[in-house]
């Protein structure tokens, strides 16, 4: 099993920066991708950024050039550096991990961390 613990959300003014962290524990070796998703009030959850075990990254068009996903393998932690934040980035951000263990696919979610960007 994999467990995810997020941290780093908060209130920031438009144009500011925040860094989210997601620490993974458990069967880390079974993870092949980790990502960040967000859900704004009244909207569906959407992909923000993802990083694979091979280091490949992918971003939503709305955050390209402003957000950077990275990982620290020694700490089993994935980060989301968010810059030039906009009010429309306000959402609950969820960490996600996908993997396979004993031939079975799994997907795990963190508890979510609220990011509020004021105008």
pLDDT digits (tens, 9 = 90+) for 18-45: 999 999 998 888 889 999 999 999 999 9
Q: Of residues 53 and 117, which shows the higher confidence score?
A: 117
CA 23 → CA 63, 85, 89, 115, distances in Å?
A: 22, 23, 22, 18
Q: What is the pLDDT of residue 73?
A: 85
Q: Does the pLDDT at position 83 exceed 90?
A: yes
Query: Please, which pLDDT band fits residue 98 given cuts at 50, 70 and 90?
Result: very high
Q: What is the pLDDT of residue 101?
A: 87
Contacts 24+ apart (CB under 8 A), 48-55: 48/80, 48/93, 49/80, 50/96, 51/78
Q: What is the pLDDT of residue 27?
A: 85
Mean pLDDT of the chain: 95
Decide if 39 contacts 92 (C-beta within 8 A): yes
CA max distance for the chain = 48
Mean pLDDT value across residues 81-104? 95
Decide if 77 contacts 69 (C-beta within 8 A): no
Share of the chain above pLDDT 90, in %: 84
Among 13, 17, 25, 42, smallest CA distance to 95 is for 25
Q: Does the pLDDT at position 103 exceed 90?
A: no
Q: Does the pLDDT at position 95 exceed 90?
A: yes
Decide if 70 contacts 52 (C-beta within 8 A): no
């Amino acid at each position: 099993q994999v467990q995810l613990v997020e941290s780093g959300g908060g209130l920031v003014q438009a144009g500011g920066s925040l860094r989210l962290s997601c620490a993974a524990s458990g069967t880390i070796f079974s993870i092949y991708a980790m990502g960040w998703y967000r859900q704004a009030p009244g909207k569906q959850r959407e992909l923000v950024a993802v990083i694979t075990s091979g280091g490949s990254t992918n971003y939503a068009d709305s955050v390209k050039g402003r957000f950077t996903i990275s990982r620290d393998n020694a700490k089993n932690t994935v980060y989301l550096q968010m810059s030039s934040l906009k009010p429309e980035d306000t959402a609950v951000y969820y960490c996600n991990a996908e993997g396979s263990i004993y031939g079975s696919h799994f997907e795990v979610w963190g508890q979510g961390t609220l990011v509020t960007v004021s105008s």
